[in-house]
Copies of this chain bind each other. A is one copy, B any other.
Amino acid sequence: MAQAVLFHSGKVPPAGWLAAIARLAPEIEVRTLDTLGDPAEIDVAISWRLPSGTFKHLTGLKLMQCSGAGVDQLLADPELPPDLPLARMVDPLQADEMVAFALWAVVEQHRDLARYRAAIQQQEWLFQPQTSMRSRRVGVLGLGAMGGKLAARLAALGFATAGWARTARTIPGVTVHHGAEGLAALLADSHILVNLLPLTRETRGLLNLSLFRQLPKGARVINLGRGPHLVEEDLLTALAEGHLASALLDVFTTEPLPEGHPFWSHPQITITPHIASLADPNHAAEQVVENIRRVRAGLPALNLVDRQLGY
């Protein structure tokens, strides 16, 4: 029986991925849902999320390869076969793009650039006092491939940097906290809080009013993880009561952000349309091809997800 790979993406045109895989591994046949043929021939599916009703036809599936770093949307899919190996993308380029975007977001908040932009729109040359980066404490939630690198870069740039992870680790120049007490210590000392945690049972809704109130008054929050990390109404409350000064969000509970949602035009909230992490097929395809070859050689795939941990 022929063997083939299924590639599916909701918003990214498939041409880039198909070309990148063809260039690296011409022997691998890649199909899309439009060119699926016999679904039993698909041994590896590459997608961020498959349309409802797809999994049950893929009776020969040996690996679900997520095309992104986060797999919460796949784990939440009741149709995902319970014993199917699931791999996530751990792409150095994607991590680098995320780190660069996160640095952008931290400087946005550090320098209060949204206020300058609002003044510029009024043709006003605004002067406002600035806080130096040496006294601006940045806290990073999640110290994996992305968060760990971000914390190290922030410290190297000159920000007073701390981080928090589930388990203990060491990053040069960064104060690392872990566990429940560690979280409280991080929050008490973070003027700018950046979330890069995976979305799991433990982290869903973590960015809530109780957490915001543990931050210093005037703190700023950046969410680059997943929409459901944040309790959106709680952010509005914390801004309205003056405890938080501003927020920058790239991810939302509902995406695209619904029409009329208060985040579209809130003066203290800067939003971007889920663009922080950028996957380049030319780099990501290397990892995918490696995993396809491993599965076909009877080897375990790389970067397999622990479904209990959720990442």
Enumerate chain A interface residues (CB-CB to B < 8 A).
11, 93, 96-97, 99-101, 103-104, 107-108, 110-111, 113, 116-117, 119-121, 123, 125-127, 130, 132-134, 153, 156-159, 255-257, 259-260, 264-265, 271-273, 275, 278, 280, 282-283
User: For A275, what are the chain B residues with a Cβ–Cβ distance below 8 Å?
Assistant: 111, 116, 130
Partner of A134, one of B133, B158, B264, B283: B283
User: For A97, what are the chain B residues with a Cβ–Cβ distance below 8 Å?
Assistant: 132-133, 158
Partner of A11, one of B99, B123, B127: B127
**Are A113 and B272 neighbours in the complex by a CB distance under 8 Å?**
yes
Partner of A280, one of B132, B265, B283: B132
Interface centre among A125, A130, A159 (most CB of B within 10 A): A125
Closest 10 pairs between A and B when the two form their complex, measured CB to CB: A125-B256, A96-B158, A104-B107, A132-B280, A125-B273, A123-B264, A130-B278, A100-B107, A104-B104, A100-B157
Known A-B contacts: A103-B157, A120-B264. Give 11 more (CB < 8 A). A96-B157, A97-B133, A99-B158, A101-B107, A103-B103, A111-B275, A111-B278, A132-B278, A132-B280, A132-B282, A134-B283
